[in-house]
Structures are given as structure tokens and as C-alpha cells.
Chains A and B, each alone.
Chain A
Amino acid sequence: MRKKTTRSVFAAACAALAVTAAACGTTSENSGTAQPQDPRQNCGGPDGKYTIGMSQANLAEPYRVRMDEDIRKAAGEVPQFEEVQFSDASKDNAKQVSDVEAFLTKQVDLLMISPNEAAPLTDVVRKAYNSGTPVVLLDRKVDGDAFTTYIGADNVAIGRQAGEYFKNTVLPQGGKIVEIRGLSGSTPAAERHQGFEEGIAGSKIEIVGEADGEWERSVGQEKMDALLKSHPDVQAVFSQNDPMAEGAYLAAEAAGRAEQLKFVGIDGLPIEAGGIKAVEQGRLQATNLYPTGGAEAVEAAKQILVDCQPPEKQQTLPSELITKENAGEVYARLNQG
């Protein structure tokens, strides 16, 4: 008897849920349309005081820590920006949705976000945009066009820049190299590889081995160990980011091969443990700057809120090649202010 009661109660509850869900009109936040925003509606001019919310995907990557720091520093120089509040989603899409919702509850004047992944964050970013909050996207996009402006570097172009450096400077006669890639399945890994292939096209450079280093220094080291054993005649290493390049250097050093090999990375973080210092200290032959966009995001926020001159929908950040010649100058330039 008792079991029956449970079952019928359960069934009734399910039925009730189904009916309510169907009967009460659900309002659609998933309609997928961006309501056109008058770009000047949020502008309070130079006399206003503004609060900005910045939702960061994670703070496990030094690049993102630096992005937050760049934002903090640049915002400190804009007198109208009272406060920038930061949140960290720790690589969890669901947490990042909640972070953005909390910013909306707090009625921030502008939302900056570097999404963990595009699709899961699309709805909540659209909700923010459609509720009249301007949205500045950093580094990664969301689907559709419900945002005010997107600021990011071009991974294909950076890969191409790295490839051309190999073709013209590292191995002008051609030769054998290995590629250590970022996490398989991630967009930057695919794009940096594609660009690199374009860059070395028409040369005699041959990628004889490749490995997935998951963007991590320790994994890069481990994979390079194996690559050195299977391809002892390799002459240079292209790594899709600096930490993996540093890891590969350690592996080569352990094998007594570090002096003969040349290492090139991507990122060029202007911090003590970053790629620019590694180039200065001679571990890396070169790296390719992947700018954080922090300062540019604050500039865009100023254009939206203070100057009433809304920025372009899309802003591609330029990269530059960093070698021993310009490393000191670039490091100083990125850290001034």
C-alpha cells in the first residue's frame, strides 16, 4: 500500500510540473535575438560615477590574472570609474552564469566578460545586453551579436607570424621541427596551428612530430621528453604558448640538447615568469605577443560611458614578434603607466 502512495504522489508531482510548465506562458530569454541598443543610452557623461563588473573565466592561467591586473590599472586612471568588481568562474560555465547574474543584480553600469566557453554564456550575456547593460567581450566571443564590442587578438594571424619567423629567420634553409599544441579541441589551438601552417607554407620546414601539451608547462616537458626520443634529429620547437615552450626547454636541457635547439612560443606575458623574460634570458629564441586587451577594454568602457562615442563592434588587437633585440623595450612599454 505504502509504495503505491509514493508512486502516485510522485506521478502527481510530475504531472503538476508538466502542466504548470506548459500552461504558464514561459517568457523566452532564448529567443536568440539581440534587441538593438541605442549606443548612447548608457552614457552619463564625464560627471557620472560608474561601476564595472568584470567576469573572468578563471584565474588559473597567468594570462588571465594579468588581464585583470591590466583592467584594474587602466580603470584606476579614469576618474569616473568608481570601482571595478572582479569575479572568477574557476573554469565552470555554470558559475560564470551566476557571476554575471550577480553583477546584473548589483546593477553595474557596464559588464566586461571573458567567457569560459561561447555557447553556455550566450544566453546570460544576451540577457545583460537586452536589459540595457553594455557588454565588452574579451578574448573569447559568445554566439550571436548581443554585445556592444568584442576585443581580442587574432590567433590565426599570430600563428602565421610565428610560421613566417620560422621560414625567414629560424630555419631559412628548411629543417625538421616539432609542434607542441594547446589543449586539443580548444579554438586557439586549432587556429594557431592553422596560422602556423600558412606561415611556413612554401618553405622546406617539416613538422615531424606534434603533441598535445594542454597549455601546461609540466605537460609540455613530458611530451618533449618523448618527442626528443622519437625525433632525435629535430632542430627547433614551435610551442603554442610560452609555458609549454619553457617545459620543452627543460626537457631538452635534461637531455643535454637545449643549446642546439631553438624554441619559439606565443603569449609574451610581461611578468617576471613570462615569455618576454624567457626571451631576454635566452631560453626562448622568440615569442609572439598575445595581448590581454585589458587596457583596451577600459578604453572601450570609457568611450561607452563617459565620451558617448561607442567603439567599433569588433576590435582586433595587434601582435608583435619579441626577440632578444626588442624584449627589454616591449617589457618596459607593457608595464609603464
Chain B
Amino acid sequence: MSEQTHEAEASPSAPEPPRGRSRREWAETLFRFQSFFGLVAVFIAAIVLSPRGDDGQILFLTSDNLFNIVRAVSEIGIIAVGLTFVILIGGIDLSVGSVLGLAAVGSAVLLVNDNFGVLIAALLVLLIGLIFGVLQGAAVALLGVQAFIVTLAGLNIARGLARMWSGGETVQISYGDGDGKAPMLFSLLGERTFGGVVPIPALIFAVVAVAAILFLRYSAYSRHLYAIGGNEKAARLSGVPVNRVKIVAFALSGFCAALAGIVHAGQLNAGSPNDGLAYELDGIAAVVVGGTSLAGGRGSVVGTIAGALLLGILNNILSLNSVDTDMQLLIKGLVIVAAAALQRLRPTA
């Protein structure tokens, strides 16, 4: 195994590291937690730059605002977690924004026009996302077409399907019993729990994040991911089921995008064929800021989550300070470039 940034490597029975780490080890640690340090830095900057309320409280730190941030990044966060799997193997998935739109429209149509129950509708939509991912993964793995091209086609196909399924119009979701109403249960996605504080989408994002971290830590699958991303030929020769691993990665990405679409429709009480437009780029941004290399083989889900939160805090503090949208875009771009530039400085194995 070559040197990898691999959280799973640190097993509890690992021997004590020798005292006095080399500079390189320090650098390695620093880079591994780059996005986490970035997150802390942005958080502190946000506190400093936060406007004050009438009674002098720091508005950025109000619990309402902090939970608004997590709610706002939950969709991009869920997408980015799925994307991480694909990017770790050196692939890319441009279809996630469109799949989110397809899933949002699908949720709305199934609940409102077809009177499905919440569970059945959600399972069907997740299945669609999963199948979409499997098909793209199969095209990449078995036909050998580049992921960029396959998922660029997927982006267009999913968007087209979303338009067809909705008749090109926003499908409104109203709640209640009877025809043309969605069950009240679905409206939970727009609610807050724990005494009206924690948004349900934020909880779902947390569950997805934890599940993905545990999955990467405790399954053999993650070693395969990193192996393929590091050197696909070598992985194939050493018996890694490369095709299967690739298909699973794209399937997970499609599944996450569909889940984000369900959350989207539930939060906004509507499914629109234009939902999720350009979300794939925000998702990729979160992954990159999280320190995952687009070349594959390096990075982590933890980093991606930190990256998504970092960008969310950035958006929030810029909005609180009424910075123009054009300026916001500029700053976001600079942060992405900075994150990528930091990665270049990293000592390579």
C-alpha cells in the first residue's frame, strides 16, 4: 500500500508514534486536516465580521442562524458526500444537480398526482437515483467512456426527464388527506425538531455523513476506492474488483443526489424541473475545498463535510454583511482556488 490519507489506517492498536515527529509528518497532518483548519478559520472570521443585533449580540452565533446554515448546506452536503466516492476513484459526476431535480419532481408527482404514500414514493425516487447511478457507472466501467462525458450526458438526460415528468411546470405540494394532497408526514422535511430548533434536513445530512464515514472506515470497499484512485492498473492486477467498485461509487452518488432531491421537495413544498440547476458545481466545490483531489486517491468524506460547511458559513456571513452577489461569487471562487493551491503544496508520497 502506498502512502495514503486514509483515516482507516489509524487502528487503536497502532504503536505509539516515535517522539519528535519529522517536519514532513507535521506537514502531512496539517494537510490532512486542511479543510478542518479552514473551517475553524472561517468560523472565527465570521464571528469577528458578524454584524451585531440591537442588544449587541453576535448575530452570526445565534442558534437560529447556525442551524439555518446547516439547513442551507444540507442538500449540497448530501450531494457532495456521494460525489466524494466518485471523485476518490478519479471520476466525476456532473449529473447530480439534474438527478436532484428529477428526484424533486418525482417526489412531488408521485405524492400529489399519483397519491403514493411517503415511504413508497421515497423508495421509488431513491431507486431511480440508484439506477441512474448504476447505468452511468456501467457506462464508465464497462464501456470505458470517460466519466466526464457519461455524466455530462446524464446531466442532460436527467434534466430532460425532469421536464417531461413534470410537464415543464412546477408541481406544488399541498398537504392533507384525499386526492391531490401529499401526506402530512412529508411536510416534516420542512420542520424543525428538538423544540423547533434543529431542521430535519440538517439531521438527515448528519445521518448521511455519519453513515458514509463509518462505511469508509469499516468496510473493505474504501481500500478499493483509494487503490483505484491511486493507481487503477495496479489495483486491477492486485485483484480489486475495479468495475464493481466503480459502479457502486456512481450508484452511491446517484442515491445521494436523489435523497437530496427528496429533501429539496419536502423543504420547498414543490418540485420544479429547474431544481438543482448547477448544484453539481457547488457539490464539486465542497469536495475540492474539503481537500479531495480530482485526480483521485486522496481525500476523505470528513473533509468534504468540512468543505460544505465552510462554503455554507462563507455564504452566510457574506449575506449577513449584505455583500453583493457578484462579490460573493468572486470570493467563493478565490476560496476554491486557495484550497486547490494548498493541495499542490502538499508533500507527495
For window 70-102 of A, CB contacts with B under 8 Å fall at 85-88, 90-94, 97-99, 101-102
Asked whether A117 is an interface residue with its Cβ less than 8 Å from the other chain, the reply is yes
Asked whether B59 is an interface residue with its Cβ less than 8 Å from the other chain, the reply is yes
**Which chain B residues lie closer than 8 Å to A122 at the CB level?**
269
Chain B, residues 305-321, CB within 8 Å of chain A (1/0): the string is: 00000000001100110
A105 in contact with B320 (CB, 8 Å):
yes
B53 in contact with A107 (CB, 8 Å):
yes
For window 133-189 of B, CB contacts with A under 8 Å fall at 167-170, 172-173, 175, 187-188
Tell me which of B33-41, B193-201, B293-301, B332-340 binds A.
Answer: B193-201
A123 in contact with B269 (CB, 8 Å):
yes
B207 in contact with A17 (CB, 8 Å):
yes
A180–B92 Cα distance when bound, in Å, is 40
**Which chain B residues lie closer than 8 Å to A85 at the CB level?**
322
A106–B52 Cα distance when bound, in Å, is 8
Chain B, residues 245-286, CB within 8 Å of chain A (1/0): the string is: 000000000000000000010011110101101000000000
**Which chain A residues lie closer than 8 Å to B270 at the CB level?**
93, 117, 119-120
B172 in contact with A29 (CB, 8 Å):
no
CB B202 to nearest CB in A, in angstroms, measures 11
A117 in contact with B170 (CB, 8 Å):
yes
Asked whether B204 is an interface residue with its Cβ less than 8 Å from the other chain, the reply is yes
B264 in contact with A94 (CB, 8 Å):
yes
Asked whether A169 is an interface residue with its Cβ less than 8 Å from the other chain, the reply is no
A123–B71 Cα distance when bound, in Å, is 14
For window 187-237 of B, CB contacts with A under 8 Å fall at 187-188, 190-196, 200, 203-204, 207, 210-211, 214-215, 218-220
**Which chain B residues lie closer than 8 Å to A101 at the CB level?**
65, 68, 72
By secondary structure, the A interface counts as: helix
**Which chain B residues lie closer than 8 Å to A90 at the CB level?**
325
Residue of A nearest to B72 (CB): A98
Residue of A nearest to B215 (CB): A6
Summed over the interface, the residue pairs from A and B with CB atoms below 8 Å come to a total of: 132
**Which chain A residues lie closer than 8 Å to B59 at the CB level?**
105-107
**Which chain B residues lie closer than 8 Å to A5 at the CB level?**
218
**Among candidates A13, A88, A105, residue contacting B211 with C-beta atoms closer than 8 Å:** A13
Residue of A nearest to B171 (CB): A119
State which size class the interface on B falls in.
35 or more
A88–B277 Cα distance when bound, in Å, is 16
Residue of B nearest to A31 (CB): B187
CB A164 to nearest CB in B, in angstroms, measures 29
**Among candidates B54, B169, B219, B274, residue contacting A6 with C-beta atoms closer than 8 Å:** B219
**Which chain B residues lie closer than 8 Å to A3 at the CB level?**
219-220
**Among candidates A2, A26, A92, A143, residue contacting B192 with C-beta atoms closer than 8 Å:** A26
Asked whether B93 is an interface residue with its Cβ less than 8 Å from the other chain, the reply is no
CB A132 to nearest CB in B, in angstroms, measures 14
A21 in contact with B200 (CB, 8 Å):
yes
CB B279 to nearest CB in A, in angstroms, measures 9
CB A234 to nearest CB in B, in angstroms, measures 27
Residue of A nearest to B200 (CB): A21
**Which chain A residues lie closer than 8 Å to B167 at the CB level?**
185
| Contacts A13-B210, A21-B203 given; does A27 touch B195 at CB 8 Å | yes
Asked whether A334 is an interface residue with its Cβ less than 8 Å from the other chain, the reply is no
Asked whether B64 is an interface residue with its Cβ less than 8 Å from the other chain, the reply is yes
B62 in contact with A105 (CB, 8 Å):
yes
B268 in contact with A120 (CB, 8 Å):
yes
Asked whether A14 is an interface residue with its Cβ less than 8 Å from the other chain, the reply is yes
CB A170 to nearest CB in B, in angstroms, measures 31
**Among candidates A20, A27, A29, A98, residue contacting B203 with C-beta atoms closer than 8 Å:** A20
A30 in contact with B190 (CB, 8 Å):
yes
A262–B275 Cα distance when bound, in Å, is 38
B211 in contact with A10 (CB, 8 Å):
yes
**Among candidates B62, B204, B272, residue contacting A120 with C-beta atoms closer than 8 Å:** B272
**Among candidates B51, B193, B269, B277, residue contacting A26 with C-beta atoms closer than 8 Å:** B193
| Contacts A93-B268, A93-B272 given; does A24 touch B75 at CB 8 Å | no
A9 in contact with B170 (CB, 8 Å):
no
A30 in contact with B207 (CB, 8 Å):
no
B193 in contact with A30 (CB, 8 Å):
no
A147–B41 Cα distance when bound, in Å, is 39
Chain B, residues 53-65, CB within 8 Å of chain A (1/0): the string is: 1100001001011
Residue of A nearest to B328 (CB): A88
B274 in contact with A91 (CB, 8 Å):
yes
A28 in contact with B191 (CB, 8 Å):
yes
Binding site for B on A (CB under 8 A): 2-3, 5-6, 9-10, 13-14, 16-17, 20-21, 24-30, 59, 85-88, 90-94, 97-99, 101-102, 105-107, 117-120, 122-123, 143, 184-185
Binding site for A on B (CB under 8 A): 51, 53-54, 59, 62, 64-65, 68, 72, 75, 167-170, 172-173, 175, 187-188, 190-196, 200, 203-204, 207, 210-211, 214-215, 218-220, 264, 267-270, 272, 274-275, 277, 315-316, 319-320, 322, 324-325
A/B interface sample: 9 pairs, CB < 8 A: A2-B218, A17-B204, A29-B190, A94-B275, A97-B72, A101-B65, A107-B54, A119-B173, A119-B269
8 A-B pairs closest in CB distance: A27-B196, A120-B268, A185-B169, A102-B319, A119-B270, A88-B325, A119-B172, A85-B322
